[in-house]
Chain A
């Protein structure tokens, strides 16, 4: 070291990632453009609003809803949504009697092309290990307190199947456009760690 004052150290992960990318470039396996394209796509084009647009369409179009529940990926393709990262998409519908919630106990499988990338808590050991064991308790910690008579269904993305929760359409939204409906739906609704949908600042 030629100097003695402190600089922030680069994380070992950053160093190794850069080194691997540099080697892959050098041997012409991957270019930086290849990597840039993926990153840009996930930073700019894909996110929870994509999933919200699917749900909103299902709310306004019963035929689409039926197709979505039968084959999630095929229905998404109708809207130009999809990608090689998801092979099977199973959409599960919340009802007054049922609440669905999604987890991946082994790693962090998630419908990337539909929801973007998962948040940190979804990948945490705590969420992954506890949700199956004590779903009501975990959900209550996340702000979803369910009446005893509501059945909780936990969906574990352990194989190629990815899950998407279809929340219930709130009452008194008949006058809203599809675009306004999209604004009501959050990522957490589609994972199932939120149930209530805010409508004009009031809980429905």
Chain B
């Protein structure tokens, strides 16, 4: 896409006036501010981490969507939290596998026609 038409296109995505385009970006934003409120890091430290991550991203491509942007945000937050050694190196990977497995289980239950009582917080 030509960059001169990009802005016009971006303004027509239909997500113009939503606070968050995806549930996960909402959780991510909420976690970041809540973690800052709990003094795990300052917002200035987060901003610096985000700037670094965006700079890296833009070496190889552009940020064009909310997903691109919040992906940088996610990696910035992950880096700050991991710097505090809040969990063991393998723990996050294991928890991700559990999240995937739980999601698949829910989908399997839905496919079989079972009602799942608890809604999915992040999808």
Contact = CB atoms under 8 A, between A and B. Distances in A.
Interface of A: 1-3, 7, 10-11, 13-24, 27, 29-30, 32, 34-39, 42-43, 47, 84-85, 106-109, 116-117, 119-121, 123-128, 130, 137-138, 141-142, 160, 187
A47 B19 contact: yes
29 contacts: A3-B108, A7-B107, A14-B22, A16-B74, A16-B78, A17-B28, A17-B31, A19-B92, A20-B31, A20-B81, A24-B86, A29-B35, A29-B40, A34-B37, A84-B36, A84-B37, A84-B43, A106-B51, A108-B50, A109-B47, A119-B15, A119-B16, A124-B10, A124-B64, A124-B69, A125-B62, A126-B64, A128-B63, A137-B4
Given A14-B23, A18-B122, A35 B7 contact: no
Contacts of A34: 30, 34, 37-38
Given A38-B33, A85-B43, A15 B86 contact: no
A20 B78 contact: yes
B7 A127 contact: yes
A126 B62 contact: yes
Interface residues of B, number: 70
Contacts of B67: 11, 13
Contacts of B65: 120, 124
A126 B6 contact: yes
Contacts of B98: 19, 22
A10 B120 CA distance: 11
Contact of B74 (A17, A27, A32, A120): A17
Given A23-B92, A47-B19, A15 B100 contact: yes
Nearest to A160: B44
B70 to A, nearest CB: 7
A137 B27 CA distance: 36
B100 A10 contact: yes
